[in-house]
Amino acid sequence: MCDLKRQYQRIKDEVDVAIQEVIDSSAFIKGKEVGLFQDELASYLNVRHVIGCANGTDALQIALMALGLKPGDEVITPDFTFIATVEVVALLGLTPIIVDVDPSTFTMDISKLEEAITPNTKAIIPVHLFGQCANMDEIMRIAQKHNLYVVEDTAQALGADYYHAEGKIAKAGTIGTIGTTSFFPSKNLGCYGDGGALFTNDDELAAEIRSIANHGMKVRYHHDRIGVNSRLDSIQAAILRVKLKYLDEYNASRINAANAYDNLLRSCSKLITPKRASWSNHIFHQYTLKLVETDRAKVQKKLAEKGIPSMIYYPIPLHKQKAFEPYKQSNSRSFQVSELLSDSVLSLPMHTELTEEEIKFIADSLLEALNY
């Protein structure tokens, strides 16, 4: 699905030097690379503060802790996402409220957002799924009307542009109260292990986030609150500093690959190619098709026979997950779209190293598997 080996080969010289420098300095934790990477990412995103942490799930948890949410508070998330988004809500004793998604962009269905808001609602977590932003203008309008925080889960869309209705362009993750991301190796900006970060323009929240990620302390060994231990380590930061320079190029390769897939697949009536929203560019963390009345397992098997991997992101919507059972009562709305999507989506290989020949082979094999 992803070719990190070929990607590494192209930047090997730079990455190897960066890693060796950290080892030579032995500043493995809180070394200078961490601060430099945070500053460089802040400048790339045009946001005041970037705070590194251990992974994207921690980033979401720390965000909700920094907002001071209390057990019983309700947090709204989309139904069609990776479990981490809702997991941290439950872990903190908050109540997850799930909203169905839009059938074409797979992001939170704005028309269903407002009806999910109650007097207990405190925050919304939109997910910029597969590389494309949720409808942030509408989400921010509704959030402001109801006085809610917005935490943007940007794990799959780092570097995506959001086009505000009034013409301004902002990077995904910098529009809400806090943005979070993951540097898991396969993400658009991936490190060589685990890593994550939070973004905010709010100075006080940034101080709170830094303290929470560091055992709740601002002054050493003075613990003002219960925190966690969640750090981006120096080696990962050094690798990310190298890779950040190529992020726009990487995202452009993904966009080119997606356009090439589109051109080869568009005319087939047994699938629907990914829709681009009007309010965001799409940087294709995943290239996800919808199959139309097709035996998906059979298609995957035929692709696998040719050595082509394919994946189902996500086979079970959140509201149907076993771990979610305790929250069923607060979530009795309809999830028709996410249920349909989990039965019909198929993601093809998508990464920065795909060649034209590979894309053609994958597309031709898919069309053949669909008997087109």
What's the rounded Cα separation, in Å, for the pair 5 and 192? 11
**287 lies in the site for ligand PLP, by CB under 6 A:** no
| Catalytic-labelled residue, pool 112, 122, 171, 187 | 187
**Is 171 noted as a catalytic residue in this protein?**
no
Least Å distance between CB 285 and ligand PLP? 8
Nearer to ligand PLP, 102 or 359 (CB): 102
**Residue 156 in the binding site for ligand PLP (CB under 6 A):** yes
Q: How far is the CB of 306 from ligand PLP (least distance, A)?
A: 27
Residue 311 gets which letter from DSSP? B
If the CB atoms of residues 151 and 369 are measured against ligand PLP, the closer one turns out to be: 151
Residues 54-73: x/- map of binding to ligand PLP (CB under 6 A)?
Answer: -xxx----------------
Residue 319: name the closest of 308, 332, 310 by CA: 332
Stretch that binds ligand PLP, among 82-90, 112-120, 137-145, 240-248 (CB under 6 A): 82-90
Quick one: which segment of 151-159, 255-263, 270-278, 354-362 binds ligand PLP (CB under 6 A)?
A: 151-159
176 binds ligand PLP (CB under 6 A): no
179 vs 196 by CB, closer to ligand PLP: 196
**What's the chain's length in residues?**
372
In whole angstroms, give the CA distance from residue 363 to residue 266: 10
Q: What angle do CA 185, 191, 197 make, to 5 degrees?
A: 105
Does 253 help bind ligand PLP (rule: CB under 6 A)? Answer: no
Asked if residues 280 and 161 have their Cβ atoms less than 8 Å apart, the reply is yes
- Say how many C-beta atoms besides its own lie within 10 A of residue 322's C-beta: 6
Using the contact rule CB under 6 A, the part of the chain among 53-61, 114-122, 220-228, 319-327 near ligand PLP is 53-61
In the chain, alpha helices (H)? 4-25, 32-45, 56-66, 84-91, 136-146, 203-213, 234-244, 247-265, 296-305, 336-344, 356-369
**Per CB under 6 A, 230 contacts ligand PLP:** no
Lookup result for tokens 């192209």: 10
Which tokens sit at 239?
A: 């690798």
Quick one: 80 or 149, whose CB is closer to ligand PLP? 80
In angstroms, what CA-CA distances link 251 with 28, 50, 93, 113, 131? Answer: 29, 20, 37, 30, 9
Contact set with ligand PLP (CB under 6 A): 55-57, 81-82, 84-85, 127, 153, 155-156, 182, 184, 194, 196
- Catalytic machinery residues: 187
